Structures are given as structure tokens and as C-alpha cells.
Amino acid sequence: MSYSGRREVIPKGVESLKEAIRMIEQAGRVFALTGAGVSTLCGIPDFRTDTSGIWERFEQLKIFDIDVFRREPHLFYEFAREYIYTMKYVKPGAAHLFLAELERRGMLCGVATQNIDGLHQAAGSKVVFELHGSPRSSHCILCGRRYSQEDTEERLKNVPYPSCDCGGLIKPDVIFYGELLPEKTLRGAIEEAMSCALLLVLGTSLVVYPAASIPQIALSSGARVLIFNKTPTPFDDEAAIIIREDLKDVCEFLLDYLYSKNGR
């Protein structure tokens, strides 16, 4: 999937964008951090700030609470049927494609994301640190048997929640409130943040940990940080460039810029 031709509408702040791409080209080791803002472009609601009414129907704190999940797993699975297991039908957006293209060209060493939708991988990114886990695999909380998302969904048919052959509850490998963060993933992302020369932050306001620690680590390791986010973040004062324009316009522009400069 790609964009063709020069864009007719060039985003405001185009000079900042050219400066951003110049920095990306010259930085050497570039790492990226993404949040819900890259996926809302694709129609996936921001589970933290969504105002479309999801949280009038579902109690967010309960759905993703590990103790509630163990007691009343149907609450999570009712939500998952509608909002999580449908994410596989969503196509990656401009931000996902831009990062995948950077990686394909050897200009990006990987991306850490707060999202659980798998859209970076769908766009072609290979090195993805999913800080909040992923629903694409699950496991039995009793015997530990692993399940694919497909198997989990199969076992969810016509029942309120999926069970293992041993009778144990099947839990997706998404990180719930009250659970430890995925240590290996987090360590991998932190190592990249420490060794990169430039960190791109896209579509996150950097208020949720552990994601918020990534720019902190990058900055204290001497990296520069570029922020593409429509609202202010706690790191704006320390960022080399802040771009608040519409993320879709910005990433389409950057993609076209890459194509026009270096071919496909």
C-alpha cells in the first residue's frame, strides 16, 4: 500500500516537516514511539480518551482490571468481541505506513507502541515492542497452554468467555491494570531508547507509563526527540521539533517526500 503523486494540500508547518525529515535522514539510529493517535486515524477509538459513548456502556477500569477479569471474565470478553477482536479488519494508516517504510529503508530501528491493534505489523514493521501486550495470543491461566487469537475467538463462540480443555480461563496476552508489564518487551524498548540518536513520538500525549519513560530515557541518553502530536505533552520543552498538524496529512506528506526523493 502506498501513496502516489505530490499532495495538493501541503500541511502547514511544512518547513518544520522538511527539517524533521532531514533530522531523520541524518540521525543514524532512529527509534519511534506511538500511541492511540496513530490508530484513531484508522477509526480505532482511543480507549483512554474516547468520547463516542464506549465508556457509557463499558466500565473501562473494570474491563481491564486483572482481579475483575478473574472474577467476571465475561465483562472483558463482551468488550473484546466488539472492540478488540474486530481490529483485524482495520487497515493501517499513514503513520503506520510511514514508519514501516522508514524501517524498510534502514532508516528506523524499530517502534515501541502503546497500542494493541497490531497495525504496525500489518503495515510491514518488523521490530515492534508492544508495551501493553497483544490480543493476538492468549494463554490458559491454569495450565499455561498457549492459544492463537483465532483459537481464542473459536472458543468464545456462543459462550460468555473462553475456557481451556483443563477448565481454566483463557486470558489474552494484553496487559491488564494490576499486572506486571512485559519485562522483556519493556527492556528491549528501553535499550533502543538509550541507544538511538533520534526518537520520533507519534500520536501520544506521553502521560501514561511506561510509554512516558521512553522519551525521558532517550533525552537523558543524549538523543533528540521529535514530537508529532496534536495536544501538548510534558516533553514539549525538550523536543527538537513539535508538529501539531493533522497526523494523517503529516505522515502522507512525509511518505510522499520519501518516495519522491529515493524512489519506491
Site residues for Zn ion per CB under 5 A: 140, 142-143, 145, 164, 166, 168
CB of 164 to Zn ion, least distance (A): 3
Return the number of the residue (26 or 148) whose C-beta is nearest Zn ion: 148
The set of cell numbers assigned to 207 is 502521560
15 burial type by CB count under 10 A (0-12 exposed, 13-18 middle, 19+ buried): exposed
CB of 162 to Zn ion, least distance (A): 11
Q: Which of 74, 96, 120, 132 is catalytic?
A: 132
CB of 137 to Zn ion, least distance (A): 14
Is 96 marked active-site?
no
CB of 141 to Zn ion, least distance (A): 8
Helix then strand then coil, % of the chain, to nearest 5: 40, 15, 40
**Cα–Cα nearest to 24, from 240, 204, 238:** 240
Phi and psi torsions of 36, nearest 5°: -55, -30
How far apart are alpha carbons 2 and 256 in whole angstroms? 9
Please report which helix (H) or strand (E) contains residue 25, including its range. Answer: helix 14-27
Return the number of the residue (28 or 144) whose C-beta is nearest Zn ion: 144
Q: How many residues does the chain have?
A: 264
Return the number of the residue (66 or 219) whose C-beta is nearest Zn ion: 66
The set of cell numbers assigned to 90 is 482495520
Return the number of the residue (159 or 166) whose C-beta is nearest Zn ion: 166
Q: Cite the active site residues.
A: 132
